Amino acid sequence: MHDSAVPPALTFEITARCAATSARAGIVHTPHGDIPTPVFMPVGTHATVKAVGPDDLEAMGASIILSNTYHMLLRPGPELVARFGGLHGFMRWPHPILTDSGGFQVFSLGKLREVSDDGVRFRSHLDGAEVVLTPERVMEIEALLGADIILPLDECPPYGASLNEVRRATERTHHWAERALASKVRPDQALFGIPQGGMDPDLRAESARFIGSLPFDGISIGGLSVGEPKPVMWRMLEAVIPELPDGKPRHLLGIGSPDDLLEGIACGVDMFDCVLPTRTARTGGLYTPTGRVNLRGARFREQTGPVDPTCDCYTCRTFSAGYLHHLIRAEDDDSRGELLYYRLASIHNLRFLIRLMEGARRSLLEGTFPAYRARFQATFVPPDQAVAAEQRAKRPRPRE
């Protein structure tokens, strides 16, 4: 995959391991800077992390962000982005960027897409125009976008698919992975492989072995957090991790709940991304050490202190919970709350997760990760999963 005369686009060094779990700390080296791991990546779907700017991201300690190939293809188009110097120049973010393949968005399009061995044909949700994605075309698009880490086209089988359907999707993902490797053109970009396998542990392990045997620079574990119960998700991850190369970074796609991040780290995952913290913030949900709170609640109306006294983010250092409550409740005919609320709430939730990762990394370097994890679990109460699933079912499927 790499010409011996050309330095690799990415190197990974493991700096600490946990004796009691599979957790590890490391550093991912890229052309746009180093990424200390474990790390949470804010999601900038449309070349912007919703409601926050690059200066906010730098201030909160973000070292890498994720953007979406599918959405950037449809609007404004990769050729235009390339004329601005790629995503780094377009969005004025000088640090590492990861672009996913758009495979999950294609998966979520349902009846709008047709999958074959060649690729995916679908109708744009914007204007109905026909779009074709192949493994080769995805590599072309991501070369134009210019991210440091890129992902190949894959097929994510839906939760509840039959074993035969999952096997076909997994085999297709393997074939597409080989085609992506053969068509990658930029030596300054690192390509991560994506194992699939649905909810079958044997197929998961088989896919991990196959993808791990190919000359990818890292691994992005796909097809989880797609509706399955959390115990099932963790069983699938436990089937995957032992089959992956130890010396390559491991990325778990689409995981962002605070409690899940620490579980993922304990399993041996290095990198995470999810739209959850910013989406939750926009609906009034803010993270605290004891769990998620709803800022719309009347109990915050007269709270003069910050939402989280232990938090060092700009929001908690500067504003009271009472003020945030006022902003989100200031609804009129034109808005669902004052716009400033979305920025302040998003800053807090993202910083909460980044600070959680910083603490996990520090505990790994100090050899105290199990205690760090236990302290967090002793106070943080995650949302009831049955209630959360019911609420998700009532909401339209998001495209971000």
Catalytic site positions: 100, 273
Q: What are residue 267's phi and psi, to 5 degrees?
A: -80, -15
Closest CA to 191 of 180, 175, 203: 180
Write 161-166 long-range contacts (CB < 8 A, 24+): 161/198, 163/198, 163/200, 163/203, 166/196, 166/197, 166/198, 166/199, 166/200, 166/203
- Amino acid type, 359: G
Q: Which two tokens mark 243?
A: 């089959």
369-379 and 339-366 helices, crossing angle to 10°: 140
Report d(CA 102, CA 97) in Å as an integer.
15
- Distance between terminal CA atoms of the chain? 32
Q: b/e for 325-341, b at 16 or more Cβ within 10 A?
A: bbbbbeeeeeeebbeeb
Report d(CA 397, CA 256) in Å as an integer.
17
Q: b/e for 116-145, b at 16 or more Cβ within 10 A?
A: eeebbbbeeeeeeeebebbbbbbbebbbbb
Do residues 78 and 137 make contact, with C-beta atoms less than 8 angstroms apart? no
**CB within 8 A of 158, min separation 6: which ones?**
107, 226, 227
Cβ neighbourhood burial of 390 (10 Å; 0-12, 13-18, 19+): exposed
Q: Which two tokens mark 226?
A: 């797609």
**CB within 8 A of 191, min separation 6: which ones?**
1, 149, 150, 151, 152, 180, 181, 184, 216, 217
Provide the 10 A C-beta neighbour count for residue 146: 24
